[in-house]
Amino acid sequence: MKRLIHLFLLSIILMAINISHAGEQCNSERVKLQMLGTGGPELLNTRASSSYLLWLDDKARIIIDAGPGSLQRFKQSKANFNDLSVFLFTHFHVDHSADLSAYIKGGFFTERRSDLFIYGPSGDTFILSAEEFVKRLFSVKHGVYPYLSPFINHDAHSEFKLKTKTIEWTYKDRNIRSIHESEDFSIKTVSVHHGPFPALAYRVDIAGCVISFTGDMSGRLHTMPDLAQNSDILVAHNAITEDATGTPQLLHMKPSYIGKIAGRAKVKHLLLTHMMARSIDRTDETIQLIKKEYSGPITFPNDLDSFHP
Ligand SMILES: [Zn+2]
């Protein structure tokens, strides 16, 4: 009997710990999400292609995607490359990854001494995995920039190394996976559908706040609402309009589906990016469609705009 009471008390204590953790208040002042690129792949306007920067306590910690032009925004943001811990790649299309090599070369001229983590999905015939992407950029034998091979070669001297990890993508595995834990934040990912291309969405839990990123996706795996559950900010890609047909709607989600994700996940603030010619002039219509499913605030940010959760 005594043992039973002990077990009962223990379970109450554990429950209390759990609840207090789950209900951890978002420390909004400590966290900032900055847009480094709100455009798509078109040569259309002055927006950089996809990229987002997460700050914690005024330090730049995580970059999500590194599309062309976003490195210039990183410089404008006055972020310090030494503070960065992680690059997350949703997938390795050009408009999400072209600036990575320029970051690494630039990093040579900094005081950085700690390794840099890089995560991205597995590949297939027409797109590379994270590890293959980095290897083909920097390997000494067949790399595009073999002179930067010390950043991946452990036998050569460099002040920091790239720690690249491929996250397996399959249609079958729709589970949310934890990929990175540190004292300051934890990162989870899930497979999403982006036509035939392996792609990942991400969720970052940081200082009690939750920031999620759809990346490019059509919504056909229906994995995003669970991943983004209770997000303080969700960044969703508004690359097409509701009347899209053919390939674009195989690659990207329609506004009504963005609304469904935001509504089901109980998102507190929805940011719409990856703007393209076909979506940029129809934001009023997009807002109306999203509002049918989601009643929170919706913002179309520009490059360098910042948001506290
Ligand atoms: Zn893409």
Q: Read off the pLDDT of residues 271-309 as tens digits, 9 standing for 90 and up.
A: 999 999 999 999 999 999 999 999 999 999 999 999 999
> Who's near 46: CB < 8 A, 6+ residues apart?
303
pLDDT at 9 (0 to 100): 54
- Collapsing DSSP to helix, strand or coil, 103 comes out as helix
Residue 13 in any domain: the answer is no
- Using pLDDT thresholds of 50, 70 and 90, give the confidence band for residue 21: very low
User: How far apart are the C-alpha atoms of 155 and 150, rounded to whole Å?
Assistant: 8
Question: Which residues are bridge partners to 37 per DSSP?
Answer: 51
CATH number at residue 291: 3.60.15.10
Q: Please count the structural domains in the chain.
A: 1
Residue 242 in any domain: the answer is yes
Q: Does residue 11 register a pLDDT over 90?
A: no
Residue 22 in any domain: the answer is no
DSSP 252: S
State the distance from the centre of ligand 1 to the C-alpha of 199, rounded, in angstroms.
Answer: 8
> Who's near 251: CB < 8 A, 6+ residues apart?
194, 195, 197, 216, 218, 239
Residue 59 in any domain: the answer is yes
State the distance from the centre of ligand 1 to the C-alpha of 186, rounded, in angstroms.
Answer: 25
pLDDT digit string, tens, across residues 119-164? 999 999 999 999 999 999 999 999 999 999 999 999 999 999 999 9
State the distance from the centre of ligand 1 to the C-alpha of 188, rounded, in angstroms.
Answer: 20
Residue 15 in any domain: the answer is no
State the distance from the centre of ligand 1 to the C-alpha of 216, rounded, in angstroms.
Answer: 5
State the distance from the centre of ligand 1 to the C-alpha of 85, rounded, in angstroms.
Answer: 24
State the distance from the centre of ligand 1 to the C-alpha of 300, rounded, in angstroms.
Answer: 19
Whole-structure pTM value = 0.92
Residue 8 in any domain: the answer is no
Diameter of the chain by CA atoms?
74
Residue 12 in any domain: the answer is no
Angle among Cα 269, 305, 42 to the nearest 5 degrees reads: 100
State the distance from the centre of ligand 1 to the C-alpha of 285, rounded, in angstroms.
Answer: 23
State the distance from the centre of ligand 1 to the C-alpha of 93, rounded, in angstroms.
Answer: 5
Residue 5 in any domain: the answer is no
- Using pLDDT thresholds of 50, 70 and 90, give the confidence band for residue 171: confident
pLDDT at 172 (0 to 100): 82
Give percent of the chain with pLDDT exceeding 90: 90
State the distance from the centre of ligand 1 to the C-alpha of 254, rounded, in angstroms.
Answer: 15
State the distance from the centre of ligand 1 to the C-alpha of 113, rounded, in angstroms.
Answer: 32
pLDDT digit string, tens, across residues 224-276? 999 999 999 999 999 999 999 999 999 999 999 999 999 999 999 999 999 99
Give percent of the chain with pLDDT exceeding 70: 93
State the distance from the centre of ligand 1 to the C-alpha of 251, rounded, in angstroms.
Answer: 7
Domain that includes residue 124, residue range = 30-302
